[in-house]
Amino acid sequence: METSTFFGLFWGWVIVIISGILFVRPSVLRELKKLVVVDRGSGIMYGFLSIFLGLGTIILHNVWTLNWQGFITIIAWLSLLKGIYIIAYPEPSKKTDFEVRILSTRIVLAIISALALWMLVVIYMK
């Protein structure tokens, strides 16, 4: 299996599964947001996990094209940048209204989930 296909399947299924859980059980999203914002240790672990997954994908697959392979690279860079932001600047997330964070997270999840489903369909159709 080539690297692009592996990362496409990996990120695609991770996004679909996690987004599905968070849409079916909104209380899980609320608890996760509270945990990351309130408990600094959880926020740091979440940030490091994002950095590891993003950086690992970038090192092995940094392909900038306008197709599903480019989407993998964008996901990886967003993961890396989010991890850095969460660790370096935890204060802004505490100042933002909690309901606004929940709504914006759900909107982003919907968009990313639709793109991940598209990517999975393209990979399985090839």
pLDDT at 98 over 90: no
Query: Domain range for residue 20?
Result: 3-123
CB 8 within 8 A of CB 68: yes
- Find the range with the poorest average confidence among 42-46, 59-63, 94-98, 106-110: 94-98
Q: What is the model's pLDDT at position 26?
A: 87
In total, how many domains does the chain have? 1
Q: What is the pTM of this model?
A: 0.86
Q: What is the model's pLDDT at position 1?
A: 67
The most confident of the ranges 30-39, 46-55, 87-96 is: 46-55
Instruction: Write the DSSP string, 13-55.
Output: HHHHHHHHHHHH-HHHHHHHHHHHHH-HHHHHHHHHHHHHHHH
85 HSE (CA, 13 A, CB side)? 10
pLDDT tens for residues 1-46?
699 999 999 999 999 999 999 999 989 988 888 888 778 888 899 9
Percent of the chain at pLDDT exceeding 90: 69
Tell me which residue of 126, 125, 116 sits closest to 7, measured CA to CA.
116
Q: What is the model's pLDDT at position 96?
A: 66
